[in-house]
Amino acid sequence: MSLLQIQNMTKTFGGLCAVSDFSISIEGNELMALIGPNGAGKTTVFNLVSGFYSPTEGSLVFKGKSLAGLKPHQVTALGIARTFQNIRLWHDMTVLENIQISQHYNLGYNLVDAFLRTRRYMGNEKRIADRGYEILEALDLRQFAEEMPKNLPYGLQRRVEIARALSISPALLLLDEPAAGLNSSDVNDLIKLIGWIHKEFKIAIWMIEHQMDVVMSLCSWIKVVDFGVTIAEGTPEQIQNNPDVIKAYLGDENI
């Protein structure tokens, strides 16, 4: 059974068809990419998976469960984590707090426990803090635990955002343009990081990306969309030589 199975998914907004007849099957531990020109509908696909929108048609099944009608926080609790094109960290809280808050699906205590500081509260808060340090340690961010993200360089912020996503122990990680805004040395670090995460955590990673060196060096399978329609899919070599893809990207120097 595949991890994420999307079949014939379509999304229309009023008169505009943003995503049309989209199908994909992602197995556990794959590293796949979704590429296409700006406005092709890629982020919309991610938003549909995350639960921000409901598909007009089609089905989304994750680990055998239908994602229809689920709210984003419920989708996340099932095991799909996500980062955003423009980094959505909470800039006025510490890095550690950013990680801790994503444990909301699994707090283990309620409001009354918080008021009374019961043993259940203390135990769970410790577990959450430990988990936070654990993830920060793994991604080499431990020394920034008490920093505010707004004070960190952009490359590090991206890493914190990925750490936050990993802290929910996802089975599938969605990365929306992780390399956006990074300089070339940060991009190399990012490529190494994603590759390492993929091997170390053994999770499926699906990314939207414009920078082709990231896509080509990491991904085993690429899907290309334009105007909401899938125009090609295949291995990196196949996509590089596909005339439709080249036409859609005409002028893009990254290819």
Q: How far is the CB of 248 from other proteins (least distance, A)?
A: 23
Most distant CA pair in the chain: distance in Å?
Answer: 65
Binding mask 63-82 for other proteins (x = CB under 8 A): --------xxx--xx----x
- Which residues is 166 bridged to in the sheet? none
Q: Report how far residue 196's alpha carbon sits from residue 220's, in angstroms, rounded to the nearest whole number.
A: 15
Number of neighbouring beta carbons within 10 Å of residue 154: 14
Q: Report how far residue 212's alpha carbon sits from residue 189's, in angstroms, rounded to the nearest whole number.
A: 15
Q: How far is the CB of 179 from other proteins (least distance, A)?
A: 19
Tell me, by CB under 8 A, how many residues bind other proteins.
Answer: 37
Q: Which of 115, 237, 243, 251 binds other proteins (CB under 8 A)?
A: 115
221 in Cβ contact with 30 (< 8 Å): yes
Q: Does 92 bind other proteins (CB under 8 A)?
A: yes
- CB proximity list for 15: less than 8 A, separation 6 or greater: none
Q: Which stretch binds other proteins (CB under 8 A): 4-12, 21-29, 44-52, 199-207?
A: 44-52
Binding footprint of other proteins on the chain (CB under 8 A): 43, 47, 50, 52, 71-73, 76-77, 82, 84, 88-93, 97, 100-107, 109-111, 114-115, 117, 121, 125, 128, 164, 168
